[in-house]
């Protein structure tokens, strides 16, 4: 049940957010625009509120944090290496969990993340102090953001265009609304799902047609369908055909044209120069991860005035 609800929210949230892909819909967009308390996915919520800019910066922070902690895996054998592995595993688990959980809005989750990050960075810095400093390809790294933007522009230019139309439909119809004082929500959801299923199934037999249909979740029996084709004219013709087939099964339904687009591109292609530039910037500032040379052994860190005392397990008495 929870999975189906999350899947039903995806086209609704992504459809509105695609109109402002760079900056998003603003803070608390889920509650203000869709009437839901959360998107149940940290990355989806970040994209909805702050767009590709906010989502890219979030990924950048998480990526730099993870790579900053990785040297802790080269710590001396014993408790230090175990703690370093736990910190890396915890951060990696948090990054993966955020795709299906509202990770970064729950204090118990994000506080644990930054606690593990602090522990991992502390252990990683102890390892780095025992290694010679090396500057690897810093001049070449400065070109990575520029290269990312250029690749993004190439992706944007090479992505094919399409036309689309969007219809908002009432699966219950004005006749039923007038005859029944209050139509049950379950009935409205069932009729919307029936109409969407008919249109999506029929579209599979029409080459070059993509249909996205979903329940608006803001009223009983209200849904929205978006039809994409090579041009706006083709999309309009196919949308009318699909709505006609759905109307034969869902009697009394009505639809209104709410949006059209011609020569549009996919959202990921429109934003490619930005997010690929951010990816290049992230790769440029990542700390280098040095591999241990073959034949070398880990040395226990010796306490000093700068590195602090070595972490030792308690003695067995």
Question: What is the predicted pLDDT for the residue at 181?
Answer: 52
284: in domain: no
Q: Do 240 and 195 share a domain, yes or no? A: yes
Question: What is the predicted pLDDT for the residue at 238?
Answer: 93
The angle that helices 2-17 and 42-69 make with each other, rounded to 10 degrees, is: 90
Residue 62 has pLDDT above 60, yes or no: yes
Q: Do 124 and 31 share a domain, yes or no? A: yes
Q: Do 129 and 165 share a domain, yes or no? A: no
286: in domain: no
- 3-class DSSP assignment, residue 60: helix
Of the three residues 223, 248, 264, the one that is the final residue of a domain is: 264
Q: Do 201 and 129 share a domain, yes or no? A: no
Question: What is the predicted pLDDT for the residue at 48?
Answer: 84
Q: Do 25 and 97 share a domain, yes or no? A: yes
CA neighbor of 54 nearest in space, from 30, 20, 92, 96: 20
Domain range for 260 is 160-264
Give, for 263, the enclosing helix (H) or strand (E): strand 254-264
CB 213 within 8 A of CB 199: yes
Q: Per-residue pLDDT tens for 209-262?
A: 999 888 887 777 888 899 999 999 999 999 999 999 998 888 778 889 988 888
CB 118 within 8 A of CB 127: no
Question: What is the predicted pLDDT for the residue at 18?
Answer: 76
Total-model pTM: 0.71
CA neighbor of 132 nearest in space, from 311, 288, 315: 288
What are the backbone angles phi and psi of residue 91, rounded to the nearest 5°?
-65, -45
287: in domain: no
The angle that helices 42-69 and 272-285 make with each other, rounded to 10 degrees, is: 20
90: in domain: yes
Q: Do 15 and 110 share a domain, yes or no? A: yes
Q: Do 122 and 211 share a domain, yes or no? A: no
Average pLDDT over residues 151-166: 92
Q: Do 88 and 211 share a domain, yes or no? A: no
Give, for 254, the enclosing helix (H) or strand (E): strand 254-264
24: in domain: yes
Q: Do 119 and 197 share a domain, yes or no? A: no
- The total number of structural domains in the chain stands at 2
Average pLDDT over residues 51-71: 90
Burial label, 88 (beta-carbon count in 10 A; 0-12, 13-18, 19+): buried
CB neighbours (10 Å) of residue 295?
A: 5
Q: Do 165 and 125 share a domain, yes or no? A: no
Q: Per-residue pLDDT tens for 174-200?
A: 655 544 555 567 788 888 889 999 999
Question: What is the predicted pLDDT for the residue at 294?
Answer: 46
CATH label of the domain that carries residue 207: 3.30.70.1130
Burial label, 74 (beta-carbon count in 10 A; 0-12, 13-18, 19+): buried
Question: What is the predicted pLDDT for the residue at 237?
Answer: 93
CB 172 within 8 A of CB 266: no
Q: Do 119 and 76 share a domain, yes or no? A: yes
275: in domain: no
Q: Per-residue pLDDT tens for 13-43?
A: 777 677 788 888 887 776 666 666 667 788 8
Q: Do 23 and 95 share a domain, yes or no? A: yes
Question: Which tokens in the block code for residue 238?
Answer: 């196919």
CB 45 within 8 A of CB 105: yes
CB 102 within 8 A of CB 39: yes
CB neighbours (10 Å) of residue 86?
A: 15
Sign of CA dihedral 107, 7, 90, 144: negative
Residue 268 has pLDDT above 60, yes or no: yes
């Amino acid at each position: 049940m929870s999975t189906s609800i999350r899947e039903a929210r995806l086209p609704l949230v992504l459809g509105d957010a695609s109109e402002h892909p760079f900056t998003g819909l603003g803070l608390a967009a889920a509650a203000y625009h869709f009437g839901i308390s959360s998107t149940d996915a940290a990355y989806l919520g970040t994209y909805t509120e702050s767009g590709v800019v906010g989502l890219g910066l979030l990924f950048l922070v998480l990526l730099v944090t993870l790579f900053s902690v990785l040297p802790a895996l080269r710590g001396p054998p014993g408790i230090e290496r175990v703690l370093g592995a736990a910190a890396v595993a915890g951060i990696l688990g948090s990054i993966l969990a955020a795709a299906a959980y509202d990770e970064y809005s729950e204090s118990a989750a994000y506080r644990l993340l930054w606690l593990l990050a602090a522990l991992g960075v502390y252990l990683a810095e102890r390892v780095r102090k025992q290694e010679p400093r090396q500057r690897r390809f810093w001049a070449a790294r400065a070109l990575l953001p520029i290269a990312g933007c250029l690749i993004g522009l190439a992706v944007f230019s090479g992505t094919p265009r399409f036309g689309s139309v969007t219809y908002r439909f009432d699966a219950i119809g004005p006749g039923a609304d007038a005859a029944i004082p209050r139509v049950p929500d379950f009935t409205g959801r069932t009729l919307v799902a029936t109409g969407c299923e008919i249109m999506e199934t029929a579209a599979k037999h029409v080459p070059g047609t993509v249909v996205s249909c979903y329940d608006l979740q803001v009223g009983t029996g209200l849904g929205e369908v978006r039809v994409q084709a090579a041009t706006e004219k083709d999309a309009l013709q196919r949308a009318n055909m699909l709505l006609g087939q759905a109307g034969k099964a869902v009697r009394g339904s009505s639809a209104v044209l709410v949006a059209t687009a011609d020569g549009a591109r996919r959202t990921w292609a429109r934003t490619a120069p930005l997010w690929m530039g951010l990816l290049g910037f992230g790769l440029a500032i990542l700390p280098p991860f040095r591999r241990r040379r073959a034949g070398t052994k880990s040395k226990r860190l010796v306490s000093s005035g700068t590195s602090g005392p070595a972490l030792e397990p308690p003695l067995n008495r």
